[in-house]
């Protein structure tokens, strides 16, 4: 990889190509390395060289093109959301390639936590303030997959932040974060998307809140990706939702009597170094019987678009995690993880294995706990 970074393309033989294409890019090797080698950056540079000399596969090229254009990804994912609402993906979830894809889509639905119908109808319901102390203003990064298939997580994020005293603002002009492109070696597209986001968020809020581990990891590295002062400033203001709520307390809610297993997204634990904050969110929910999955430090096989372009390898990685979840006692009702790709991958794997266990974002549990605690005012005006 160092030779490639120096421009020596003669080292690009079939063995190296296979290693680069097979690597999940989970960055689990980084915290394990005693020398602190930044493997993630070296890997992305090598993938960039590979893409420049050998191109990318047609399916990957099509997907990257779609996610480079907001109208394209928004219309495509909106159609997927309509298909999900039909209930067909849940019924078609299975082990085959199409069945597994249906399972991934079905896994994006809102977690069945017994939410009240009034709150579901009032998506802009506002919570009571936790105290009178002034907290930083927070701009919510909406992303692409999160903004369409996981908009319920955005709403839960907004409510829980407001319940902890934060003012949440919406910022227009956002685009896809560019993580999918950067991981695939599409450097120019990743930089273009990152530049658009830097322009959108400049001088808009004290902090930029992200609830997708993969998006947050790249946005915290925008300074390196773009090399501008504005990008470095934005990168320094990015916080994962678990990171911010952990710093705030967070406020405790009412009990939820569920058995939950926590699985750490690679780009939260390895890339961002956030291990304790998600557990703090779940720990603020009384009655939650929490188990940390013994293999939580290991990848689920999603890895951005890896599960799409290398489904066999991705399923092999996932199967080990599903077996581990199935072996837990007591068996959990939910698996909590803070990344959309992980929710989809694990959720589909659980459905294919015939396990009645759902995957959900940690903030969804805190949101339901706050609703039961009466922190929300359904008829209050919308936030700024």
pLDDT tens, position by position, 103-125: 999 999 999 887 655 554 443 44
- pTM of the model as a whole: 0.90
Q: Is residue 225 part of a domain?
A: no
Q: Is residue 230 part of a domain?
A: no
Q: Same structural domain for residues 360 and 268?
A: yes
Neighbours of 210 (CB within 10 A): 28
Contact 107, 339 (CB under 8 A): no
Q: Which two tokens stand for residue 38?
A: 């930044």
Q: How many whole angstroms separate alpha carbon 372 and alpha carbon 280? A: 19
Q: Same structural domain for residues 274 and 349?
A: yes
The per-residue pLDDT of the chain, averaged, comes to: 88
Q: Same structural domain for residues 22 and 106?
A: no
Q: Report the domain count for the chain.
A: 2
Q: Same structural domain for residues 106 and 22?
A: no
Q: Is residue 35 part of a domain?
A: yes
Q: Is residue 350 part of a domain?
A: yes
pLDDT for 381 equals: 46
Q: Same structural domain for residues 365 and 274?
A: yes
Q: Is residue 247 part of a domain?
A: no
Match 């013994």 to its residue by tokens: 294
Contact 290, 264 (CB under 8 A): no
Q: How many whole angstroms separate alpha carbon 320 and alpha carbon 372? A: 36
CATH of the domain at 263: 3.40.50
Q: Is residue 201 part of a domain?
A: no
Q: Is residue 272 part of a domain?
A: yes
Q: Is residue 25 part of a domain?
A: yes
Q: Which two tokens stand for residue 146?
A: 């999160």
Please tell me what DSSP assigns to residue 331.
Answer: P
Q: Same structural domain for residues 338 and 286?
A: yes
Cα torsion for 359, 360, 361, 364, to the nearest 10°? -160
The upper half-sphere exposure of residue 86, i.e. CA atoms within 13 Å in the direction of its Cβ, equals 12
pLDDT tens, 150-170?
999 999 999 999 999 898 999
Positive or negative: CA dihedral 364, 370, 374, 376: negative
pLDDT for 313 equals: 86
**Domain interval for residue 325:** 99-110+252-370
Q: Which two tokens stand for residue 371?
A: 């609703």
Report, as ranges of residue numbers, the positions in the chain whose pLDDT lies below 70: 9-11, 115-134, 378-384
Q: Same structural domain for residues 8 and 104?
A: no
Q: Same structural domain for residues 360 and 273?
A: yes
Which conformational region is residue 55 in: left (phi greater than 0), alpha (psi within -120 to 50 degrees), or beta?
left
Q: Same structural domain for residues 275 and 361?
A: yes
Q: Same structural domain for residues 20 and 103?
A: no
Neighbours of 374 (CB within 10 A): 11
């Amino acid at each position: 990889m160092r030779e490639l970074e120096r421009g020596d393309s003669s080292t690009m033989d079939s063995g190296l190509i296979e290693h680069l294409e097979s690597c999940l890019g989970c960055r689990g090797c980084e915290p394990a390395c005693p020398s602190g080698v930044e493997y993630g950056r070296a890997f992305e540079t090598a993938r960039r060289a590979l893409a420049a000399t050998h191109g990318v596969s047609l399916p990957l090229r099509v997907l990257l093109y779609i996610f480079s254009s907001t109208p394209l990804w928004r219309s495509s994912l909106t159609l997927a959301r309509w298909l999900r609402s039909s209930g067909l993906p849940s019924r078609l979830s299975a082990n085959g390639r199409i069945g597994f894809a249906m399972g991934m889509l079905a896994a994006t639905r809102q977690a069945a936590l017994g939410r009240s119908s009034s709150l579901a109808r009032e998506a802009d319901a506002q919570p009571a303030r936790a105290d009178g102390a002034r907290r930083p203003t927070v701009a919510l990064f909406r992303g692409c997959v999160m903004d369409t298939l996981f908009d319920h997580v955005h709403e839960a994020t907004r409510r829980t932040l407001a319940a902890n005293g934060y003012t949440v603002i919406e910022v227009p002009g956002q685009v896809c974060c560019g993580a999918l492109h950067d991981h695939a070696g599409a450097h120019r597209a990743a930089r273009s998307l990152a530049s658009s986001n830097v322009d959108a968020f400049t001088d808009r809020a004290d902090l930029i809140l992200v609830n997708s581990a993969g998006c947050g990891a790249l946005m915290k590295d925008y300074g390196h990706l773009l090399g501008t002062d504005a990008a470095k400033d934005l990168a320094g203001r990015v916080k994962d939702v678990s990171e911010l709520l952990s710093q705030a307390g967070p406020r405790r809610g009412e009990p939820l009597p569920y058995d939950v297993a926590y699985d750490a997204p690679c780009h939260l634990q390895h890339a961002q170094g956030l291990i304790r904050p998600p557990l703090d969110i779940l720990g603020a929910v009384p009655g939650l019987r929490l188990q940390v999955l013994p293999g939580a430090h290991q990848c689920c096989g999603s890895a951005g678009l890896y599960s799409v372009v290398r489904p066999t390898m991705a399923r092999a990685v996932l199967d080990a995690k599903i077996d581990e979840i199935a072996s837990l006692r007591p068996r959990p009702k939910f698996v909590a993880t803070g990344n959309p790709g992980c929710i989809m991958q694990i959720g589909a794997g659980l459905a294919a294995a015939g396990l009645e266990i759902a995957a959900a974002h940690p903030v969804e549990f805190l949101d339901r706990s706050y609703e039961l605690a009466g922190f929300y005012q359904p008829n209050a005006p919308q936030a700024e």
